[in-house]
Amino acid sequence: MQCIACGAEVMSGAAYCYQCGARLPKQPEEDQQEQQSVNAERRQAQPPARPTAAESFRQSVAARQTDSEEAEKQLWIGGYSPRAMIGVWLADGALTIALLLIWIIWVRQSWLWLAMALFVLLLWGYHLLLLAVRRLGVRYELTTQRLIHEHGIVRRVTDRIEVIDIDDVTFVQGIVERVFGVGTIRIVSSDRSTPELLMPGIASVKQVADLIDDVRRKERHRRGLHIEAI
């Protein structure tokens, strides 16, 4: 390009003429770059626009959906504990010893010994079978959102109770059960398929009942915050 003052050849993009020192006119590309720089500075200086009511509503709904899609975490898995039948084993043992003493002290007839032995075997066998059925036929799983309970051996039935639908959690313990920390948990809910659920033979029954109640209260509190946000 040429200087408009002296006509000397100057480099493209130069601001002043190297010969006469006159200021050279800006090129269109330089004007465009300068204008873009000015516009960028203006945008940075302007405060962010406040969202409208509709945008605020959409943002709150999106936040609620994001929270509701949190990964479901497993908190507890359990079933019928063998410790729940310790009282039964103690009773069976006491009865067996009593029958043996009766046979030794008073009666020593062979037919009576066979009858008592058969009775004892049937008694212990029945309770062992009952324990196996309860152990294999019941399973519970507690997550941050649901209480899943399965029952049955040949025909397995699985049901789910949303923790937010649980209204009350209580537990019951007998004398022997209190010693070994087992008991029965009773859950009352607004679930149509399972309005009341009994969970017998739960080990560490107090801790499990408190855990279910804590999860219920936390989920209700979280859902309540979402409703207030909307």
Angle of helix 110-137 versus helix 86-105 axis, rounded to 10: 180
Closest CA to 81 of 207, 194, 188: 207
Tens of pLDDT along 129-143? 999 999 999 999 999
Residue 23 has pLDDT above 90, yes or no: no
**Which runs of consecutive H residues, i.e. helices, occur in the chain?**
28-45, 53-68, 86-105, 110-137, 175-180, 205-229
CA torsion 31-33-35-40 (nearest 10°) is: -170
Percent of the chain with pLDDT strictly greater than 90: 46
Tens of pLDDT along 183-202? 999 999 988 888 999 999 99
What mean pLDDT comes out for the span 96-123? 82
Residues 162, 191: Cα–Cα separation, whole Å: 8
Say what the pLDDT of residue 197 is. 93
Residues 191, 87: Cα–Cα separation, whole Å: 34
Say what the pLDDT of residue 113 is. 77
Tens of pLDDT along 65-98? 555 456 788 999 999 999 999 999 999 999 999 8
**Of the ranges 33-37, 53-57, 117-121, which is most confident?**
117-121
CATH class of domain segment(s) 76-229: mainly beta
CA atoms within 13 A on the CB side of 100: 8
* Eight-state DSSP code of residue 216: H
Domain map of the chain by residue range? Answer: 1-46, 76-229
1: its two tokens:
């390009």
Angle of helix 205-229 versus helix 53-68 axis, rounded to 10: 160
Residues 73, 148: Cα–Cα separation, whole Å: 13
12: its two tokens:
């493209």
Tens of pLDDT along 211-226? 999 999 988 887 774 4
Residue 30 has pLDDT above 60, yes or no: no
Residues 221, 143: Cα–Cα separation, whole Å: 16
